[in-house]
Structure 1
Amino acid sequence: MTKQNAVSVREQVSAEEWQMRVDLAACYNLVAHYGWDDLIFTHISARVPGPEHHFLINPYGLMFDEVSASSLVKVDLQGNRVMPSEYEINPAGFTIHSAVHEARDDAKCVIHLHTKEGVAVSAQKDGLLAISQQSLFPLSGLSYHEYEGVALNPEEKVRLVADLGETQFMILRNHGLLTCADSVADAFLNMFILQRACEVQLLAQSGGSELIMVPDAIVAGIKQAAQQVTRNAGGKLAWPGLLRKLERIQAPYAQ
């Protein structure tokens, strides 16, 4: 994507949409930086500010560290492009995202990943265990969705939305992780915490010793803290520092 093209896209959209494009592209670059990407096969989407139900998603074929604000594709709920783009999108990827966006007005950003640790925990019968402080935040509002194959069936959208309910954290069995929130920053922080909880769980299990479970009373009491930390200032506090990290590695998110 040339600089001229980048300016052209910026001139075609509102300031609010451009900011959402920058934040979403930064999220893609951060996922690549942390090694959570799966080549080109997972997705992060965000709703474009405004009355239209339009969304931004990655160009199918670009690696996550290549995604920029200008290269993101704008589509409607059916996955049709509503702004000229040289790129296509992955229909299987948008099936999951469109379902969440359509059902949840608060889900401005949806992140779905296939991290090694996330898939490993998703395949465990007991799922995420209350064995770390990191696990408690997702466990305060965690849902599960059973595996139904590659997400191409529109009928699965109804079941996925029903399973998600009002939660912001979901484990898709035998598949991966999903988080959502009303901002890119909060959705990313949710994923960071959920991913870290999965990493810690696998490390603890590999030690071979009996695990100490956090008491149910403490798990229940974390809900108030989870709301305060992950839904209020949490993501917004961490986000500027994450953007500075991307600047240091010359990531293309703002182009």
Structure 2
Amino acid sequence: MTTLETRPASVAPSAALHPDEWQARVQLAACYRIFDMLGWTEMIYNHITLRVPASVAGNERHFLINPFGLHYSEVTARNLVKIDAHGRVLDGSPHPVNPAGFVVHAAIHEGIPEAHCVMHTHTTAGVAVACLEDGLQQTNFYSVQLHERIAYHDFEGITIHAEEGPRLLEHIGNRQAVILRNHGLLAWGHTLPQTFAILWTLNRACEIQMATFAMGRARPVPEDVAARCSRDALQFDPRHGAGQDVFDALVRRVDRIDASYRQ
């Protein structure tokens, strides 16, 4: 039994919600609190979305997103908003949804069947590297784990126009780590923990590159070594947990600070 399945006795799932949806809500709310703990927030902006389980939504592409106007530290399992790919609220939530959130996320959820979770950040290191002409370079322990795993998408302005979706999908292909040029970082995955592991590695690579470039010229990692590192990076592989152990450890830390996300 994972940490997220062990709820305090005082917090019970809503009788109106399928248990699988409640579990997804708790997991996603926990992730928002983890982002807050890591300093990955951008006021009330940016998004983490999670597809509603097929046991609830069937073949429909429904997903959960943060209520626009709330800080990540205020997100809970109950106040997450369930929407469809057109941004229509499906659960009667009184909270609005940011169009700049669901346009990109919906395009990925709709266009990539395996994209169960999508995460997007504007961290200082992520945006800084996204603004570099050459993007993320093959110069550190973390960047080489993502060798040939990163996609780039050119900046087209604030992401509120649906017509950008096909171009975004074309540029992403099957790569799960994405640098949105002049904008920020994005990751998608088969599970929420896997998506988190990819995004954490990508952001960490950007942090190290930013620190390295501040000191001078970086020493590149040879192509064959980088390729081997990418093959050996097992933290993204479902056969090796795909980030579940790391995510569970961070959930335990959040629980010690404030477990109100479970409400």
TM-score bucket (shorter structure): over 0.9
Find the counterpart in structure 1 of residue 111 from structure 2.
103
Task: Tell me if the contact between 1:25 and 1:254 (Cα under 8 Å) persists in the aligned partners.
Answer: yes
- How many matched pairs? 247
Alignment of 1:157 onto 2:158: no
String of CA shifts for 1:180-215, please: whole Å, max 9, x gaps. Answer: 10111111111111111100000011112x311110
Gaps of 5+ in 1: 1-5
Task: Tell me if the contact between 1:48 and 1:54 (Cα under 8 Å) persists in the aligned partners.
Answer: yes
Letter in 2 for 1:101: H
> Under a length normalisation based on structure 2, what TM-score does the superposition of the two structures give?
0.91
Gaps of 5+ in 2: 1-10
Find the counterpart in structure 1 of residue 186 from structure 2.
178
Alignment of 1:230 onto 2:236: yes
Find the counterpart in structure 2 of residue 147 from structure 1.
155
Alignment of 1:21 onto 2:25: yes
Task: Tell me if the contact between 2:105 and 2:118 (Cα under 8 Å) persists in the aligned partners.
Answer: yes
Shift of 1:253: 2.1
Shift of 1:235: 0.8
> Under a length normalisation based on structure 1, what TM-score does the superposition of the two structures give?
0.93
Shift of 1:16: 1.0
Q: 1:201 aligns with which of 204, 209, 232?
A: 209
Letter in 2 for 1:43: H
Give SS of 1:12's match: coil
Find the counterpart in structure 2 of residue 215 from structure 1.
222
Letter in 2 for 1:69: A
CA distance in 1, matches of 2:14, 2:206: 38
Find the counterpart in structure 1 of residue 44 from structure 2.
40
CA distance in 2, matches of 1:91, 1:105: 22
Shift of 1:251: 4.0
CA distance in 1, matches of 2:146, 2:44: 26
Q: 1:192 aligns with which of 197, 200, 204?
A: 200
Give SS of 1:196's match: helix
Find the counterpart in structure 1 of residue 86 from structure 2.
78
Find the counterpart in structure 2 of residue 248 from structure 1.
256
CA distance in 2, matches of 1:12, 1:105: 27
